[in-house]
A and B are shown apart, each in its own frame.
Chain A
Amino acid sequence: MNTNNKMINNIKSKYSIYFVLIALFLFCWMANKNFVSVGNLQNISTQISVGTILAFGQTILIISGMLDLSSASVLALAGVLSISAYTSTGSLTISFLVAILVGVGCNILNGLMITKYKTPPFIATLAMMAMARGAALLYTNGQNIYQIGKYVKFGQGEILGIPTPVIFLVATLIITWYLLRHTVFGRSIYAIGGNEEAANASGIHVNRIKMRAFIINGILVGIAGVLFMSRVNGGMPNGAIGYEFKALTAAVIGGTSFTGGIGTASGTLAGAFIVGFLDNIMVLVGVNSYLQQIVRGAIIALAVMYDIWAKTKKRKH
């Protein structure tokens, strides 16, 4: 076994996702010269922002061996309640806080079901997915809330020429990166996902950390809720359907392992951009929209197969 080769292999498998991203970028550029323009790239970044913010939450949860199927539904509930708070108080601050509170509240319930009552995360968040969506529809009586006034600033504003969703995207990226890399919480998350019993036997309070992971996920879902509703110009109780899968896709393509213990914020961002580039180029070159779905599905399958193949190959060395 050659150590040098091994190191190159290590780098290859560790950074493979970024190579894929760069290759895809170059491919898109060649396929359509309109792809690389400040306007289009800004457009892609804005479009992926909501899904990617959800994906950061998923990344934290998947690393620790869990997941959240309810994020898009909770997003909708947080969004409509936030807009309702805005229309009745006129305060952007209060409406923003309401979204965060709703996101955190629902996720505390997720966390309790999982830690205290030992419900599998898949089932617990599946239940929350139905409940939160139902609550959003019940509250609005199934009607969209229009005329949201200044609320559009959250998702359609600009600061120094940068769209606000991109600013939120960068801010949540930095927070997620910081949490995973520079905190005891982050290290604990990786340990729990890697081997829960060993983490416990090393003095980590497993349930406490899992609760915190859900609370952070809740904050991210709340932010995503505000952005989404603001971008679509209204409180839509049926909005963002399927976004939880967009988020899971970005995380998984970005190298977050469903067996737990592996994943990074930057990987997830790369995963989100890969999906974003693909979606964008398919529209630019006019691919049939049904075919687009097939391509998106195939990408997930390939990403996961590659992930497992790379891992088993590494273990054989």
Chain B
Amino acid sequence: MKNTDIKLRVSGIDKSFPGVKALNQVNFAVRKGTVHVLCGENGAGKSTLMKVINGIHRPDTGEILIDEKPVEIKNPIQARSLGISMIFQELNYMPEMTIEESLFVGNWPRDKYKKIDWKEIRKRTKELLQKENLNYDPETRLKDLTVSDIQMLEILKAISYNSDIIIMDEPTSAITNKEVEVLFSKINEIKERGACIIYISHKMDEIFRIADEITVFRDGSVVDSRPIDQYDLETVISQMVGRKLENNFPKETIEIGKEILKVKGMTQKGKFENVSFHVKEGEIIGFAGLMGAGRTEVMRCLFGLDSYEAGEIHIKNEKVKIKNVKSSIDKKMVMLSEDRRRFGIIPVRSIRENVSLASLNKFIYKGWLHQKEENKAIAEFCQKMNVKAPDYETRIESLSGGNQQKVILAKWMVTNPDILIVDEPTRGIDVGAKYEIYKLMSELAKQKKALVMVSSELPELIGMCDRIYVMAKGKITGMLTRGEFTQESIMAFATGTKSQKEVN
């Protein structure tokens, strides 16, 4: 830590989105020639801060200083001219673009007539690919590359700008171990050049390998910021999850009945392998893990949305084959998807039609729609779910996120399921609606239904579950029962620093 020159400093940054305060008086500084790691749970505000620095979001208050001089960053192009480049967590690429086109998009070299200089682009692309030992034709289209190749190209592109400040938002979430090593050696080169890196990651082993300094975020604020030699794993994790668990979970003690669902050795190549678990009547089990651990993929296979290569599913001691969603619903297993807009709602249709969508045969029989029965059932389930809407003919798109979620839950309740899988049931909804969803889960458990909850919010898993399975990199690494739950123990399994030998 000899180099004490500050390259980038943010001070007093506030940023609000409708209904959420994403950043609250954030201060932090990055020194030249260092790697500064940002830690924090999903939604802690790391990515938002990086988007502020990159000019995608404008801060409500506060300022950004480069070389201790205040700057105003209006958009990513301006950020780049100030020497800031960013590698995004979510790959946004145009599949039909060629490698050379994508490397220079927005930054095309021009000839003297202001025409794009494709010869120059070809030359520079070849140089870059050669230097990095990548055997690709510059005209290869991105859709023909693997995700990890594309991510690697993104990384090379960001580095090729010779920026002084490089932001990497979970750069290793999509690349192979070998490529991680390449990335780390690049990072060292960048440091030697005197440029600095802001690095966001959930992977603790990585963080402790490359960080010079760590800043921990929680709920939109900086908790602490220290050099690496003053940190250890436990401190980082406890600072990340630090908040006290409030007793706002309507968990009830319910007698647990017979085993109702058992999954044995389920595998989907490249996504997850050998996943086994079970759930009993009246039980709520949780799935914890970091983004990309494979939890959603497991549930999608179970529900018949995707297919799996190996493994068995038993429902009520009977081996079943789930070919598609319909067969899962017929077996009384339903799933509330993590992406409500994409897999949940039919935006332009009414609440009524959304609710009855998965059980149309209940209302349409003998060649006729029995609208009165439909209205009655919809009213009953929506009232139970406490859906707030002017009437049930309102389009679902005009409701708030929480109410939309309750409508989709009502849709699944009409099918009268035995097993309910909920994937991030409270993502992006307000506290009141969250509580109602928890209450409903307890209510269902009391009715001897089995619940499987995937969540990235540890407090709700700890508050609601009887057992929690933890996944890391496509495998179940641990299983904890109520009483053994601590955020630290779950995080240890989730980051892959700890793993149980046999998990059932």
CB distance A201 to B346 under 8 Å?
A: no
A153 within 8 A of B: no
Residues of A within 8 Å of B324, CB to CB, are 203, 205
Residues of A within 8 Å of B345, CB to CB, are 195, 198
CB distance B398 to A201 under 8 Å?
A: no
Chain B nearest CB, measured from A126 CB (Å): 21
B503 within 8 A of A: no
CB distance B390 to A195 under 8 Å?
A: no
Chain A nearest CB, measured from B127 CB (Å): 39
The 8 Å CB contact of B360, one of A3, A7, A184, is: A184
Chain A nearest CB, measured from B357 CB (Å): 5
Residue of B nearest to A192 (CB): B346
CB distance B344 to A194 under 8 Å?
A: no
A296 within 8 A of B: no
CB distance B343 to A187 under 8 Å?
A: no
CB distance B348 to A261 under 8 Å?
A: yes
The 8 Å CB contact of B398, one of A200, A203, A315, is: A315
B101 within 8 A of A: no
CB distance B357 to A182 under 8 Å?
A: no
Contact indicator per residue, chain B 384-401, by CB within 8 Å of chain A (1) or not (0): 000000100000011000
Q: Report the interface size for chain A: residues with CB under 8 A from the other chain.
A: 30
The 8 Å CB contact of A197, one of B343, B353, B358, B367, is: B343
A58 within 8 A of B: no
Residues of A within 8 Å of B211, CB to CB, are none
CB distance A183 to B364 under 8 Å?
A: yes
CB distance B360 to A187 under 8 Å?
A: yes
A199 within 8 A of B: yes
CB distance B325 to A203 under 8 Å?
A: yes
B305 within 8 A of A: yes
Chain A nearest CB, measured from B378 CB (Å): 13
CB distance A194 to B325 under 8 Å?
A: no
CB distance B369 to A182 under 8 Å?
A: yes
A202 within 8 A of B: yes
Chain A positions near chain B (C-beta within 8 angstroms): 3, 6-7, 181-184, 187-188, 190-191, 194-195, 197-205, 257, 259-262, 314-315, 317
Question: Beyond the given A6-B390, A187-B353, A190-B346, could you list 4 further A-B residue pairs with CB under 8 A, ordered by the A residue number?
Answer: A187-B357, A201-B335, A203-B329, A261-B346
Chain B positions near chain A (C-beta within 8 angstroms): 303, 305, 324-326, 328-329, 335, 337, 342-349, 353, 356-358, 360-361, 364, 367-369, 390, 397-398, 411
List 24 A–B pairs whose Cβ atoms lie within 8 Å, in order of A's numbering. A6-B390, A182-B364, A183-B369, A187-B353, A188-B360, A191-B357, A194-B346, A194-B347, A194-B348, A194-B349, A195-B345, A195-B347, A197-B342, A198-B343, A198-B344, A202-B411, A203-B326, A204-B357, A205-B326, A257-B348, A260-B348, A261-B349, A315-B397, A315-B398
